[in-house]
Amino acid sequence: MKWLKEYQNHEMHLVGGDHLTKNKSQCVQVLYEFGIISTSLPDIKIPKIMPGCISEKTSTSLSFKVPECLENRRLKGLNVTFKYTMVDDDCAWFAKISTTKGVDLMYNPTVSGRPAFGEAGIWVSYWPIGNKLRVRDKINVSIIVVKGLEVSECGASLVYTDDEVANETFEDNMGWVETLDGDLSAFQLSNGAYYLCRRDFFDKMEVDKPTPRWFRLLVGHNIDHAVVQGWGKTGRPKQSNPSSGPESVNILAIVFFSFSNEFVR
């Protein structure tokens, strides 16, 4: 993702995490959260983000199989991107990756970009899940819109590295591991899927109301929205126990930075 530095002076208004974006530069910046690296860009033509697999126009999903890997190459992860326009200042969406071999990840980034009115934006992300993918696995990628967004197309590409050549990589430079980051148990649902979201989209909704359509599309019919009601920065709400002492809370790191090495946690 070093190529992003060429576009660091492009403007992209940032929304979603007031504690991260308040009084910060509106230039292109990168979010590192749950081990996923992402950024939002204006609709600029960049050959480096052309995905290997692209959905049909106006479609928000795609599927493909993991091919045989060439000798001396190692599968590291997956790039996911989509093109969108905003129809409301208040927007929310999830990127979802699932496979036939048990990977089930749903991610709502704390911060994303808001393109200028009437213009399109591009969300670009890297998911370090290569160790979870196997040859002939079917990978399903979809963008599930909660509100305020229109998706025109989405795409995905497998990311490989050459084991014999000591290439500099983004993870090597930053000292990050090639797996999803930290203890994610508080973000895991009963069906084994990971609901990687730091906000409660149901805070004003009565528990006995029908599960919204977008949530059924996201997690299926076996999980009710009440399960994630009260969801926050640390995932599943902690159950208080008066007889026990203070409970420690593991807060996964959120790093939001520009190319001038400005870090906020």
Q: How far apart are CA 27 and CA 7, in angstroms?
A: 9
Residue 118 has pLDDT above 70, yes or no: yes
Cβ-contact 263, 257 below 8 angstroms: yes
d(CA 66, CA 55): 16
pLDDT at site 245: 39
Rounded to two decimals, what is the model's pTM? Answer: 0.83
Confidence of residue 41 (pLDDT cuts 50, 70, 90): confident
Reported as a pLDDT band with limits 50, 70 and 90, residue 241 is very low
Check pLDDT > 90 for residue 31. no
More confident residue, 59 or 135: 135
User: How much is the pLDDT for 166?
Assistant: 41
Q: pLDDT tens digits, residue range 42-88?
A: 887 776 667 777 777 767 899 999 988 777 788 899 999 999 998 88
Contact 128, 179 (CB under 8 A): yes
pLDDT of residue 265: 44
